[in-house]
Amino acid sequence: MAFTVEDFEDLLRILEQKPEWQERMRRAILSRELLELPERLLSLVQQLIESDARNREQIAELTRTVQRHDEILQRHDKQIAELVQVVRELAEAQRRTEARLERLENRLEGEIGRQSGERYEREVVADAFTLFYGGRGGSPKEPAIRDQLAHWLQPLVEQGVEITPLVSPFRADIIWWKGDRVMVAEVGIKVSRDDVKRAATRAELLRRAGVNATPAVIGEEWSLPDVQALAQQEGVEWFVGDGLSQGFLEFRKLPDGLPRR
C-alpha cells in the first residue's frame, strides 16, 4: 500500500493534535546524535560564555596589573627625577665649592707670591751696597731717594711732561748711583718681560731729564727663556741667578761717589 500526500497531511494533523506523539516521531526519525545536538550546542555555548567570562576577568586583572605597574613606574620616574635634581644640585654645589677653593688657592698663592716677592725685594735693597760694590741709593719708598728723584725730574715737571706709573722712577724697586751714573732696577724672584719693560721705560724718563740712567733687572731666574734676549734687545742690564751682564759688571767697577746735583 502506497503512502500518499493525503496520508502525510493526515499524519501532520494528528501530530499537531497529539504533541506527545511529536517527541516519539522525532526520536523515530532522528538519530541520537541529532537529538543530542541542541543540548551539546547549548553546553558548548555555555562553556564559551564561561570561558569568555574568565578571559574577561583575566583581561581585567591584567589591566589592573598593568595600571598598578604604570603607577609604580610613575612613582619611580618621579623619584628618579627628584634624585637627578638632587644630584644636579649637589654637582652644582660641588662646582661652586671647587671654584671658591680654586679662587682661594689662587689668592693664597698670589698672596704668598706677593709676600715672597716683597721679602726678596727688601732683602735685595738691604744688600744693595754689597750688590753694587758701593755707591748710594735705595728704595724710592725712602724719603731721601724720593727727594733725589724729584730733583732729577724737576726739569720734566716744569715742561709739563706727564709721568705715568708705568714710566715713573718713583715706582722702581731700586734707584742706585755712583757718581753721575744711575741704575734704575726692577727686582723679582722670576724676572719677567714686564720687569724688563718697566726698567727700560723708567730709565728712559730719567735720561730725558738729563740723568745718565741705566736700566737693570735683578732676580733669581728668568721667568721665560726669551726674557734675557729681550733684556739685551732693550739695553737692560741684569744680575739674574749667577749671571751678570757686562754693563752690570762695569757699573760695579765704578768708583764710589756722591751724585751730581
Among 173, 212, 180, residue whose Cα is nearest residue 196:
173
Domains of the chain: 5-65 (no CATH), 127-253 (3.40.1350)
Distance CA(148)–CA(259), nearest Å, equals: 9
Q: Which helix (H) or strand (E) holds 19?
A: helix 19-29
Distance CA(240)–CA(245), nearest Å, equals: 9
- 3-state SS class at 209: coil
What is the model's pLDDT at position 260? Answer: 46
Per the structure block, which three cell numbers stand in for 23? 517527541
Do 218 and 121 form a contact (C-beta atoms < 8 A)? no
DSSP 55-73: HHHHHHHHHHHHHHHHHHH
What is the model's pLDDT at position 36? Answer: 64
What is the model's pLDDT at position 118? Answer: 86
Distance CA(214)–CA(59), nearest Å, equals: 100
What is the residue type of 153? Answer: L
Do 215 and 203 form a contact (C-beta atoms < 8 A)? yes
Among 142, 112, 241, 150, residue whose Cα is nearest residue 217:
241
Q: Which residues of the chain have pLDDT under 70?
A: 1-3, 5, 7-8, 11, 15, 28-38, 41, 104-114, 257-261
What is the model's pLDDT at position 89? Answer: 84
**Could you tell me the pTM of the whole model?**
0.60
Among 189, 167, 166, 184, residue whose Cα is nearest residue 118:
189
Q: Which helix (H) or strand (E) holds 216?
A: strand 212-222
Express each pLDDT in 3-39 by its tens digit: 676 766 776 777 677 777 777 777 766 666 655 666 7
Q: Which helix (H) or strand (E) holds 203?
A: helix 193-208
Spatial neighbors of 199 by CB under 8 A, at least 6 apart, are 172, 184, 185, 186, 215, 216, 217, 236
Distance CA(216)–CA(232), nearest Å, equals: 10
Express each pLDDT in 73-113 by its tens digit: 788 778 888 878 888 887 888 888 777 777 766 666 666 65
- 3-state SS class at 43: helix
φ, ψ dihedrals at 179, nearest 5°: 60, -125
